[in-house]
């Protein structure tokens, strides 16, 4: 499973996310390596997600700190943008941009970096504390210098993506003030698809090193091919990658990303170092489920639909603010560069309010992938249910997953089902003994 992957695709609707003062693309990259990898976990008959008293205390404390940080970070981001509006910072940046050139795109080259630099630098304390928490709770080994280098790269990636997007947005606002939200949304669709396509090829390698999984773990790839054969699917070896996460993080993970020529399954090196082969095969089967069930395209479609709703609601809100010739806080109207912080506030608040719906959708996908993972390793490993439960247990122990999140936190923040639920499901899902057909992997394709 990939706890952070939804954040990637969420920001991914990179359009909405980047446009909405979310941290830079690189900020999503987790932090650093395990100095000396632990041996793979021993096989255990896991019946429920349990932690030692000391580990449980740390998991609860770390989880609660992250929950508080999420809401504090959101409130801080909105407050910064409101302050930028109240102090008329954006009109000053607009004036500088207009003095620099009469060309709109060149104005965007001046205005957007100035505004985003203020926003991103103001968010640094929050991001630094996030990194501090990861270090304190033994999730990260990344040095401050390396972390800051990623922050700078992320900021630059954000600028490269957002400058043309903002320039296009304000060109549309000038030409179609009443239907800008629809025109911009239509134009955003190929951009979103393009960004999801190039992310594994161009953006991800800026923050982590990747190599063919076959080069590092050929024996594991042979076992993986048994799983893909069981599912009646051929994933070429050159579509399986190992990400050297241990250079920055101690957590374990895997994910599926891209589409077409960029589509690939990625397994973190920490995963194969900390999990036994049956557990790793379940993790791979889960990610293969995302691949087979078309979750990348479905998620793009879902987020694109959500973006349309958010843009329309932002249109309704800004129409009230700028209606009847109003020029609040030195802004000349919605088509003025200086209105960008206002748009970001609307989209940011609406995006946060939409987060429960996004996460509910994601939890559905993750559960479906869990089902697929259990089905596709059935008959390949001796006990698929046990392997799945063990994998979740290892994931929770290493990543300090909350053993008992509150219903509100689960509803608002959880992109995956809680670990306790996933372990319980892994132990009890057994259509074969009941004479029921499996949901996704049917027929005997066992190698």
Q: In a structure prediction context, what are the per-residue pLDDT tens digits for the chain, which is 447 residues long? A: 333 433 333 333 334 443 433 332 233 333 333 333 344 445 567 889 999 999 999 999 999 999 999 999 999 999 999 999 999 999 999 999 999 999 999 999 999 999 999 999 999 999 999 999 999 999 999 999 999 999 999 999 999 999 999 999 999 999 999 999 999 999 999 998 898 899 999 999 999 999 999 998 999 999 999 998 998 888 888 989 999 999 999 988 888 888 888 988 899 999 999 999 999 999 999 999 998 999 988 998 999 999 999 999 999 999 888 877 778 889 999 999 999 999 999 999 999 999 999 999 999 999 999 999 999 999 999 999 999 999 999 999 999 999 999 999 999 999 999 999 999 999 999 999 999 999 999 765 544
Residue 42: predicted pLDDT:
53
Distance, CA of 186 to CA of 190 (rounded, Å): 8
Residue 2: predicted pLDDT:
33
Of how many residues is the chain composed? 447
Residue 17: predicted pLDDT:
40
241 closest CA partner among 260, 257, 259, 219: 257
Distance, CA of 405 to CA of 399 (rounded, Å): 15
How many CB atoms are closer than 10 A to CB 274?
24
Residue 320: predicted pLDDT:
87
Residue 43: predicted pLDDT:
54
Q: Does residue 177 sit in helix, strand or coil?
A: coil
19: left (phi over 0), alpha (psi -120 to 50) or beta: alpha
């Amino acid at each position: 499973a990939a706890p952070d992957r939804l954040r990637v695709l969420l920001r991914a609707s990179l359009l909405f996310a980047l446009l909405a003062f979310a941290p830079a693309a690189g900020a999503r990259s987790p932090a650093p390596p395990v100095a000396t990898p632990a041996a793979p976990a021993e096989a255990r008959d896991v019946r429920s997600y349990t932690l030692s008293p000391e580990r449980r205390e740390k998991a609860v404390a770390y989880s609660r700190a992250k929950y508080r940080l999420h809401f504090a970070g959101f409130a801080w981001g909105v407050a910064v943008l409101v302050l930028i509006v109240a102090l008329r910072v954006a009109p000053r940046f607009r004036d500088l941009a207009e003095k620099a050139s009469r060309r709109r795109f060149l104005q965007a080259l001046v205005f957007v970096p100035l505004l985003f630099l203020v926003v991103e630098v103001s968010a640094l304390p929050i991001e630094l504390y996030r990194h501090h928490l990861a270090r304190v709770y033994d999730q990260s080994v990344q040095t401050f210098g390396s972390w800051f280098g990623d922050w700078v790269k992320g900021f630059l990636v954000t600028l490269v993506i957002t400058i043309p997007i903002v320039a296009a947005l304000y060109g549309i606002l000038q030409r179609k003030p009443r239907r800008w939200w629809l025109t911009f949304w239509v134009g955003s669709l190929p951009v979103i698809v393009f960004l999801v396509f190039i992310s594994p090829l161009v953006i991800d390698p800026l923050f982590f090193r990747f190599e063919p999984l076959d080069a590092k773990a050929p024996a594991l790839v042979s076992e993986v091919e048994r799983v893909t054969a069981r599912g009646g699917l051929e994933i070429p070896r050159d579509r399986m990658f190992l990400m050297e996460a241990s250079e920055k993080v101690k957590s374990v993970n895997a994910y599926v990303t891209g589409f077409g020529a960029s589509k690939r399954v990625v397994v973190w090196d920490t995963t194969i170092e900390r999990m036994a082969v049956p557990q790793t095969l379940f993790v791979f089967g889960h990610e293969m489920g995302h691949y087979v069930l078309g979750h990348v395209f479905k998620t793009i479609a879902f987020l694109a639909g959500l973006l349309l709703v958010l843009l329309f609601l932002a249109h309704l809100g800004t129409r009230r603010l700028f209606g009847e010739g109003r020029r609040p806080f030195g802004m000349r109207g919605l088509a003025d560069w200086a209105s960008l912080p206002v748009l970001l506030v609307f989209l940011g608040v609406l995006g946060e309010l939409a987060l429960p719906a996004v996460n509910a959708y994601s939890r559905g996908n993750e559960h479906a992938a869990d089902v697929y993972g259990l089905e596709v390793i059935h008959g390949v490993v001796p006990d698929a249910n046990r392997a799945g439960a063990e994998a979740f247990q290892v994931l929770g122990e290493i990543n300090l997953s909350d053993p008992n999140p509150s219903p509100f936190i689960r509803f608002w923040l959880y992109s995956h089902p809680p670990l306790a639920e996933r372990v319980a499901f892994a132990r009890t899902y057994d259509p074969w003994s009941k004479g029921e057909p499996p949901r996704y992997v049917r027929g005997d394709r066992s190698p």
